[in-house]
Structure 1
């Protein structure tokens, strides 16, 4: 098992931040980059929100009248919309409308586990390891209620590992299901668990008050402040003083005499908050995740994080219009900005490209997809080339290929030559040759650049386009 991944991979810390900030009454949805895709009218109606995903690129939110919407990327159906289409337009989840949402957790599979204030549990997304708890390995594209072994139980907290799930009931019981290669469901074996089953062993007669999941491990805090752990331990994330996996719950002896209130897990490290406001950490440390400032409370730590200039809201000014984006997102997603976002500027005027191009670029940052006509994709291809965004460049080329026709073929060929997209250039050239009679009569051909026309005729002659 590898050490902890960079911040742009693995389970997102943003989920924890969103939950804690909401509890502290500090959450302003306008601060989250994904909400830049919503109108001000839509933002005013939001009563509750959870940003999730490996880069904070998905969001589920409830409005004042308890309607539930999602937007963002849709990996493995993690938006629950019934398909796998990413969206920058809010889409309503009818199956959750009218239900008050209590908590939500995200597994990097990805899958989602949600509990309502009534204590019902809904799951959807990736399900190759039965992490949805429905007894199958079929992926779930819409939220479905999990009832097996949870009938008459009120769930008050949920947690997800990469491919396993855990819930806490109001009577202090813990239920787990899903992937179990390292004992993370706590059953004592390594067989996958397709439906929820109660975790017993050392927890049999104890009342649990808080739960958390790492990538392949699980944690529980009981009412007397003891912490019990189980699952994968290759990075010492269980805090047991070894790197051996633990198939059943085991108390952390090193915390003897310390009363823990809450536990939180990263990809391969663990933190706990004590009743005295102290934070203890252990596990993987390859990115300095075990070196917090001393004596900071959770609220102070979060405030410091969001006061950091590197996480501040940034505005692009393009054609007199503003586009909001987060500096951290740009640093993670776009190589071009990593070297220029080292100042405290709140507004950067962008003059190289048009507003629609930057708007499409923003959609790509949040959804990994683009939606625009092939002619407009030329400008985005220019931006992708300048910013060295190779994946975006390929998406632009695909869009152009799918949208080519006789009327725009010469313009698209010119763009491919200009931006040195050789594969696209060859594609456009072949299209022109196959439709040569019609294309030579278009306005685009008549206005063709002299050098490009010369090269086009020469190349067309070599492939026999002008033979009788």
Structure 2
């Protein structure tokens, strides 16, 4: 089962790419992922096409990687991915990776180092589940659900950390924990922790790591932004674009950049720069391609571009005319053909927090130097302060009242990932909800009497509830008497019966 599109797909944008394809197939496509594969040092565009039921390969090279017969008129179904819901797709110069809803990672390549045997190779094993992937030119980062970062691939310039040799067969633990986001450029890597700390490693010849020196960093180093009071230190997204520059989007809409700027990649005029603010604000999203020297941004109503376009070098951001409706359509205006940006692993975050007290409160969470209670789950620890937990939660107020001690340790039956997300929510006001933790979080919210968490879970379910997910959520809705869902369930049930009747009689 493929994933639904995150943007409106305009098939007409790809009419040159799909002109030889059976046109009856195209209306069923809900997601298009263009992949640039290097052959004889030249990029060639291939495609993964997703319908609601399956994933297909289209292009001579991608079919060769997967032992499929290439046919210009017919995309080839990837049977290995049948019944898998794909939540993220990313690619490097000679490989493509996908992340499934159940946290597994698959990789295909024509590079013999990856040992894929002309099919999708399962990277994760039974004990590892991941929530995000990021591909560099020749390396891969994997963010495990417990917040630990692993890496694979080429390591000649330290892009997977350490002095180890390149590792294509096994994952290398980078040693970074409590991470919420990862990003890769051509050869450089980034991670963002739950405490809003940004770490970078790899080559830094043009300052693309955001560090003061120009040397290769084989260990993750903390990126220190200038003392600018206007920066909201809560970062929203990093795009480590191309080989030599990086962009940082903050929650307040500010965009910062560093690294190579010969083609105007940073949107800073003619300057080569260390970390600097780009003269455009109130942005919601940014996109860059690893092989194009152009950047795109969206502010909620308009699209902007800068860098090396089909017209000329745009050294400063320019608002695009014509009202493009997606990043794919925006790319048509500045490049010779439409490009897509893979599928992004959507991490739904709910909640809010008082920004004045946020920095002081977050220091009380999982702090080795400041804790008096330790939660133990599967031999993993989460550290916190009883005093704060008592003030933030009635449940913990009762638990830690009186002379409670138990050696200042709490053992719980919930999974580490779910409990970590909940304790973090009590400190930061925000919680990340996904398909893997929703069942446990609903149970936890009910057990602990946490009305806010139950409200966030209900919002997640309501937004995700459709004919396909109804069998999964129906037991939860009934068990916990989520009355606000009944009306939507009735509507879906009615539509399902009508659809079934039409199939039966017509």
The normalised TM-score by structure 1 is 0.54
Match of 1:52 among 29, 35, 59: 35
Name 2:272's counterpart in structure 1.
Answer: none
Is 2:155 the partner of 1:180? yes
Q: Give the equivalent residue in structure 1 for 2:123.
A: 146
Q: Deviations over 1:27-53 (max 9, x none)?
A: 434434534554443222123332221
Residue of structure 1 equivalent to 2:59: 72
Deviation at 1:84, TM superposition (A): 8.6
Q: Do structure 1's residue 269 and structure 2's residue 255 form an aligned pair?
A: no
Instruction: Establish whether residue 245 from structure 1 lines up as the match of residue 210 from structure 2.
Output: no
2: CA distance between counterparts of 1:86 and 1:309?
Answer: 35
**C-alpha distance in structure 2 between counterparts of 1:73 and 1:311, whole Å:** 30
Query: Does structure 2 conserve the Cα–Cα contact (< 8 Å) formed by 1:69 and 1:91?
Result: yes
The alpha-carbon deviation at position 140 of structure 1 amounts to: 4.1
Give the corresponding residue for 1:167: 142
2:165 corresponds, among 191, 197, 200, to 191
Distance 1:93 1:312 in 2: 30
Q: Is the contact made by 1:240 and 1:254 (CA closer than 8 Å) also made in structure 2?
A: no
Q: How far apart in 2 are the matches of 1:241 and 1:247?
A: 15
Match of 2:196 among 222, 225, 229: 225
Q: Cα offset for 1:170?
A: 1.8
Please state if 1:43 is matched with 2:12: no
Kindly indicate whether the alpha-carbon contact (under 8 Å) linking 2:90 and 2:97 is maintained by their aligned counterparts in 1.
Answer: yes
Aligned 8 A contact 2:57 2:63 in 1? no
Residue 217 of structure 1, CA deviation: 1.2
More helix by share: 1
- Among 13, 25, 31, the alignment partner of 2:13 is 31
Does residue 281 of structure 1 match 2:253? no
* Mapped partners of 1:58, 1:52: distance in 2: 5
1:156 maps to which residue? 131
Tell me if structure 1 keeps the 8 A contact 2:180–2:192: yes
* Distance in 1 between residues matched to 2:21 and 2:188, nearest whole Å: 36
Matched, 1:290 2:276: no
Quote the Cα distance in structure 2 between the aligned partners of 1:158 and 1:142: 19
Contact 1:70 1:91 in 2 (8 A): yes
Return the alpha-carbon distance in structure 1 between the equivalents of residues 209 and 50 of structure 2.
35
Whole-angstrom distance in 1 between the partners of 2:71 and 2:260: 33
Contact kept in structure 1, 2:5 and 2:30, CA below 8 Å: no
Given the superposition, is the C-alpha separation of residues 238 and 125 from structure 1 closer, same or farther in structure 2, using an over 3 Å criterion? same
Matches within 5 A, 1:407-422: none
Residue 189 (structure 1) shift: 0.4
Residue 255 (structure 1) shift: 5.9
Matched position secondary structure for 2:132: strand
SS at match of 1:165: strand
Separation in structure 2 between the aligned mates of residue 207 and residue 112 of structure 1, nearest angstrom: 26
Cα distance change of structure 1 residues 229 and 117 upon mapping to structure 2, 3 Å threshold: same
Aligned to 2:353: none
**What is the deviation of 1:104?**
0.9
The 8 Å contact of residues 163 and 179 in structure 1, kept in 2 or not, is answered as yes
SS at match of 1:141: coil
Q: CA deviation at 1:193?
A: 1.5
Structure 2 length-normalised TM: 0.50
Shift of 1:158: 1.2
- Per the TM alignment, residue 81 of structure 1 is displaced from its structure 2 partner at its CA by 3.0
Gaps of 5+ in 1: 1-18, 133-137, 314-324, 333-468
Q: Are the equivalent residues in 1 in contact too, given 2:107–2:116 (CA < 8 A)? A: no
Report which of the two structures shows the higher radius of gyration computed on alpha carbons: 1
Q: C-alpha displacement at 1:115, in angstroms?
A: 0.9
Q: Which runs of 5+ in 2 are unaligned?
A: 38-42, 268-277, 286-295, 306-319, 339-506
Q: Whole-Å Cα distance in 1 between the matches of residues 73 and 138 of structure 2?
A: 27
Instruction: Show the counterpart of 2:96.
Output: 112
Residue 183 of structure 2 corresponds to which residue in structure 1?
A: 212
How many residues get paired? 284
Query: Of 59, 80, 99, which aligns to 2:84?
Result: 99
Change (3 A) 1:185 1:331: closer
Query: Cα distance 1:275–1:69, how it changes in 2: closer, same or farther (>3 A)?
Result: same
CA RMSD of aligned residues (A): 3.3
**What CA deviation, in whole Å up to 9, does each residue of 1:106-155 have, x standing for no partner?**
101x1111111111111111335x4x3xxxxx4642212113xx432222
> How far 1:192 sits from its partner (Å)?
0.8
